[in-house]
Amino acid sequence: MALPTALRAQESQSIFDMFSHNRVLREADQGGNTMAAEALVATNEPILSFDTVYNLQLAISQYEPFVANGGWEEIPQEAYGLKLAASRPAVIQLKRRLISSGDMPLVENVNDVFDADTDRGVRTFQARHGLILNGQIDEATWYAMNVPAQQRLQQLYLNFTRVQNMAANLSPRYVVVNIPAATIEAVNDGMVEQRHTAVVGRVDRATPIMASKVSQINFNPYWHVPKSLVERDLTKYMKENPNYLAEQNIHIYDGGGQEVSPSSINWDNLGNAINYMYRQEPGAANSMGHCKINFYNPYDCYLHDTPSKALFDENARFHSSGCVRVEGVNQLVAWLLRDNGDWDQTKVDATFESLQRLDVECKARVPIHTTYITAWANRQGTVSFRDDVYQFDAQGKVAFADA
């Protein structure tokens, strides 16, 4: 029996949509779009440099007239979850938003299909904002897109002054930890030679902003649990799980250096528990991982390896108690020790694997700066932004005493 005309039309439209959906998927090179987006931000220009001061000036000159004309429009909640091959009215607003911030080229006809160009535009936006490049309007992307242009311009003003204040004190070779981006750059002669993903301090245990010099590498270190963590965390864990210290290979010592049994400590009495020294042995579970990078500071802050590698894959990497965890830390260690004779990458890796306890003084005392830069630009005009995690932008703070 023949289908009614309305049903035949509906079936034809459904088949047309299916073919259109498949065509969009075939035309999109998602891997290529990711690579293109990464190339826009992964240049060898340091975030902290005089070049960035100039690049921020140019970005400000472009944002000021745009903001004066009203900035970009918000994208609606209906855009949440959009991805390649979707076809919804909210795609039109998404495209307009991407075009207005330069993440997608201007087109004559903005339709409602999330096509290959839109996929590339979303990944470009995500790269500029330090987000996972998945091409989807996930929660983090949706929120970042709805930050007003006026707020972004204010970030450019603040960070222009911050970078200008710090750039005058830079040496030819230095390490920068940019806290809002949770990244590390190893810089030499004006170029980034290494870039590392990091995990930095959470809001209530912030990584301090300071300048110092790297002094020593501790290979396969013991970890002496800070008193603050004994107070905040360790006593709680022991009350929840009496085997916690044994599972984490942590030993307890009294003031005379004698080992103490966990069962002899009253974990409900904080004053009693904090009178001991807690030391985690070297090994796979050690919180320092295979190394600790020391530099003088009054905060007991340092860079280190970590067994918790999965945290490096997150958008918001603010999990530590103030110290900085480094992805690919073995490469940074080799870079820091390259003036120490035979300490090449092979020797560093072999020492990691040996679990040998070893302290090596750095012949080159490379300066290290922990900084707070939430907006920057490179010479090809790509402007990057990060969230104001510690609310220093909200306070209008441009100078930091210890830096």
Q: Letter for the amino acid at 138? A: D
List per-residue pLDDT tens for the chain, 403 residues long.
343 444 344 444 454 455 555 666 666 789 999 999 999 999 999 999 999 999 999 999 999 999 999 999 999 999 999 999 999 999 999 999 999 999 999 988 899 999 999 999 999 999 999 999 999 999 999 999 999 999 999 999 999 999 999 998 899 999 999 999 999 999 999 999 999 999 999 999 999 999 999 999 999 999 888 888 888 889 889 889 999 999 999 999 998 999 999 999 998 888 888 889 999 999 778 999 999 999 999 999 999 999 999 999 999 999 999 999 999 999 999 999 999 999 999 999 999 999 999 999 999 999 999 999 999 999 999 999 999 999 999 999 999 987 6
Length in residues, the chain: 403
Let me know if 31 is exposed, middle or buried by CB neighbors in 10 A (0-12, 13-18, 19+). exposed
Question: Would you say 191 and 207 are in contact if contact means Cβ atoms under 8 Å apart?
Answer: no
pLDDT, residue 3, reads 39
Class of domain 15-36+75-147: mainly alpha
Fold assignment, 172-221+286-371: L,D-transpeptidase catalytic domain-like (2.40.440)
pLDDT, residue 270, reads 82
Element (H, E) at 253: strand 250-253
HEC letters along 196-257: EEEEEECHHHCCCCEEEEEEEEEECCCEECCHHHHHHHHHHHHHHCCCHHHHCCEEEECCCC
- Model's pTM, two decimal places? 0.88
* Residues with a known catalytic role: 304, 323
pLDDT, residue 26, reads 60
Which three-class secondary structure state does DSSP give residue 111? coil
